[in-house]
Amino acid sequence: MTDVVNVVEVFLIFLRLGLTSFGGPIAHLSYFHDEFVRRRQWLSQQEYADCISLAQFLPGPSSSQIGFAIGRHRSGLRGGIAAWCGFTLPSALLMVAAASLLIVAPGDQVAPWLHGIKVMTVAVVLHALWSMGRTFWNTPVALGIGCVTAACLWWQQGSDTQILMLVGGGVVGAMLLPNKPDPSGTAPDAAGPVGRSPSIAVVFCLCAFALLLVLSVCNVAEASHGVARLVLRFYRIGATVFGGGHVVLPLLRTEFVASGDLSVSQFDALYGMAQALPGPLFAVASGIGVMLAPHERALYAAAALVGMFLPGGLLMASLQPVWQNLRRHALLSRWATGVNAASVSLLVAVFYHSDLLTTTSSWREVVAVAVILAVLVKKMVPNWLLLPLSAVAGHYLF
């Protein structure tokens, strides 16, 4: 009974986050950090950083993968699935509604208060990055790893550079960082549901590779059924994209606009709505599914979601227990600490290159970010109230 209660709790918390987490993957990590590390203390700083580090190595939606990892840490595999469902459901349903509206009434619909929410998102991200930087750049070596990683990512973007810097940060950390006790070993749930059965990881790995094999075969053979082909097209994208939602949107444009399945105006409208809605940007897949088959919108929206999220989810589910077990070894612990230091710089780089900074182009917006930062640091207003206040302020001030 307790397990069921925990799973329901996980679902409801992530459902709320799915309704209120604006700003894309980098902002989602900030909301997760505030909710599960600072407030609820489900994870330590180290455990949360480990989740981020693993997600950076994997293709797929990073924030959804980290949400799955948090839910699984709390309540096992069912908790991970509940976390994914809760976090994804609001944005998926909103995208279905938005795409259905575009079919009957095409055109952009941008609410004026969304600008205020974006300003708030900038402050939330800065606050989380500051907190994580204080935690993981706490030695000269870690700070050096962070600075070099940030400089390289500023000079050269791309998923290959990201992977190279994460691996390089781990190698430097393994060689130069001192041994220290693993802080995650003191957490009450550290030996909980995640690591009970290593064989489950093997099963998930086999499923992931089998699906990739089926994908490659069916892609050559041109799957006859429309739903199956749609799943495979999204699966291929979800299995090969690194860098989160801001990277996958241009790839989706290439896949569906270049092929003639969607017009430029249709995709641009979905793109804009995906940026404005809360939750994972990968949920734009449900909107594309609706646009491709308006008369079977529920089926195609669900198929698109499954294809997009399944590869990254399988990889996280299979590798999370292995990652946590490896973390207990001294050498690998130092390596993971170096990866964590590089991961913070990676998040800084993603934030810098995202469109969030364009939100603060005037002195009013800069002042608003500073005020919201002060509110967050001093904890003057609960997070659930900060969102509507920022939206109203944006409507009247900008």
- Report mean pLDDT in 10-residue bins for the chain, 398 residues: 82 94 79 92 88 81 92 91 95 89 58 70 78 82 92 78 83 83 43 52 70 63 66 83 63 79 78 75 91 90 92 85 72 78 81 71 85 83 73 76
**Cα end-to-end distance, the chain, whole Å:** 50
pTM above 0.75, yes or no: no
Residue 120 to residue 342: CA distance in whole angstroms? 26
The set of long-range contacts for 264-273, using a CB threshold of 8 Å and a minimum separation of 24, is 265/106, 266/102, 266/106, 266/291, 269/102, 269/106, 269/107, 269/108, 270/95, 270/98, 270/99, 270/102, 272/108, 272/110, 273/95, 273/98, 273/109
For residue 352, the model assigns a pLDDT of 80
Angle at 202 between CA 3 and CA 50, to 5 degrees: 65
Of residues 63, 34, 332, 353, the one with CA closest to residue 184: 332
Residue ranges of domains in the chain: 1-398
Residue 280 to residue 28: CA distance in whole angstroms? 8
Q: How far is CA 53 from CA 57, 157, 191, 233, 356, in A?
A: 7, 18, 19, 27, 22
Residue 358 to residue 360: CA distance in whole angstroms? 5
Of residues 27, 26, 14, the one with CA closest to residue 117: 27
For residue 187, the model assigns a pLDDT of 42
For residue 277, the model assigns a pLDDT of 78
For residue 180, the model assigns a pLDDT of 62
For residue 196, the model assigns a pLDDT of 47
- Indicate the DSSP class of residue 148: H
